[in-house]
Amino acid sequence: MSVLKKIRVVEFAEGVPGPLAALRLSDLGADVIKVETEDGDWLRHAAPALPDSHMSAAFFELNRGKRSVRLDEHLTLAALLKNADVFITDRTPEELAALGVDGIDAEPYAANPKLVRVSISFWGDQGPLRLHKGSELAAQAMAGYTRYLGSRDTPSCRLGADVACAGTGIFAVQATLAALIARAKSGTGQRVTLSLLNSLLALKSIHLAAQSDPDVYAGPRVGGANYPPERGWKTGDEPIFFAFGGSVGAEGRPGWVKFCEEAGFNSLLEDPRFDKIGRDSTGYGIHVQALRAEYEREFARYSAEELVALIRKHAGNAASYQRADHALAHPQTQALKVVREVPAANGATVRVRAFPARFSQLQPEIKGVAPALGEHTQTVVAEIRG
């Protein structure tokens, strides 16, 4: 069952946030028409390209299964919106008006009162920065994310992942579904606005809560900006993450003690700096930075795989640090069917990431083949005139 089978989405957005939101709606069954201008979405040309193709791998990932149309004298954006259910865009109302779409920010939208309009920007639709350009890095810097990488008194660093763009795409899906539910009750659509800045602040909510009224200046959500970069605990080969802890009764959980006993870490058991449940010296504990070297001295006798197995045996939380290709090939990832193969050009296949939620009744569609620029223009024109 495709829950959005009869929903038509018009996407007039480039890069990551808008296309990611439209992709996930497509996975849920929506018909997505990707609107492009003469040069097309800039992500089409971003390196690297798929093998034997001029199409960007990132563009394929975010735009598979959509239909691409190019605006010209035979096809206007206003005509597309007359019969659409959802409009996702990163253009300002002024830019849309220049293309013949007036009153997109009015309530209701006169040309199509049922249309849900999702507007994505860098800084939001109000405030002194409304008309200014932005970027992933600019949003990270303004939202205070760069202070969580690097070390104290060293230059700030960006997060390598596009957290602002991806987070905004995720929030845009949530907002779209909420607006569609509201439309089912009221009969009218509404305008929804999102920004990269607001998305990052929302994702940072637990940090902001901890920092706004810290009774005790401790823990990673308050002092994390002063910690060195987290590279895991060194072992005989690869680094790991691990954590014990939790308070159950007077002695707490016995897992940490039993782990140390079986591994032969007697020096840790005898050292009064280590709490006997491991909460303060593992994971995000308040003494991790001071005691990490003591663990690593003992861990050097073991491989990452051996330590992870032993920690899990005693109810601890552990994982090896993995490269992306190893993560995709891991049996746990395979069991969840995260990676799927879809058709690409010339009979080839491309591996993509499936819809991240697993349903007991719904079945997301894993569509393939990202469209060539303007590939479906004539088909869509015929449907509109139809």
Lowest mean pLDDT among 19-23, 77-81, 230-234: 230-234
The reply to whether 287 and 194 lie within a common domain is no
User: What is the mean predicted confidence (pLDDT) over 118-147?
Assistant: 90
Average pLDDT, the chain: 90
Structural domains of the chain, count: 2
pLDDT at residue 252 in the model: 53
- Is the model's pLDDT at 207 over the cut of 90? no
Asked, for residue 330, whether it belongs to a domain, the answer is: no
156 and 12 share a domain? yes
Given the DSSP bridges, would you call strands 31-36 and 67-70 parallel, antiparallel or unpaired? parallel
Rounded mean pLDDT, 333-342 = 90
Say if 215 falls within a structural domain.
no
Cα distance from N-terminal residue to C-terminal residue, the chain: 27
pLDDT at res. 150: 67
Same domain assignment for residues 185 and 245: no
Q: What domain range includes position 298?
A: 240-320
Specify the range with the lowest mean pLDDT, choosing from 76-90, 123-137, 339-353.
339-353
pLDDT (tens digit, 9 = 90+) per residue, 16-64? 999 999 999 999 999 999 999 988 999 999 999 988 788 999 999 999 9
317 neighbors 328 (Cβ within 8 angstroms): no
| Cβ atoms < 10 Å from Cβ of 274 | 22
Global confidence as pTM: 0.89
65/188 same-domain check = yes
Mean pLDDT of 165-174: 98
Looking at per-residue confidence, does 230 or 276 come out higher?
A: 276
**Percentage, residues of the chain above pLDDT 70:** 94
Say yes or no: 85 and 187 in one domain: yes
Q: For residue 259, count other CB atoms closer than 10 A to its CB.
A: 24
Q: Are 280 and 351 in a shared domain?
A: no
Amino acid identity of residue 284, one-letter, is: Y
Element (H, E) at 261: helix 255-263
Considering the domain boundaries, does residue 302 fall inside one?
Answer: yes
- The stretch 275-293 carries a mean pLDDT of 90
CATH code at position 171 = 3.40.50.10540
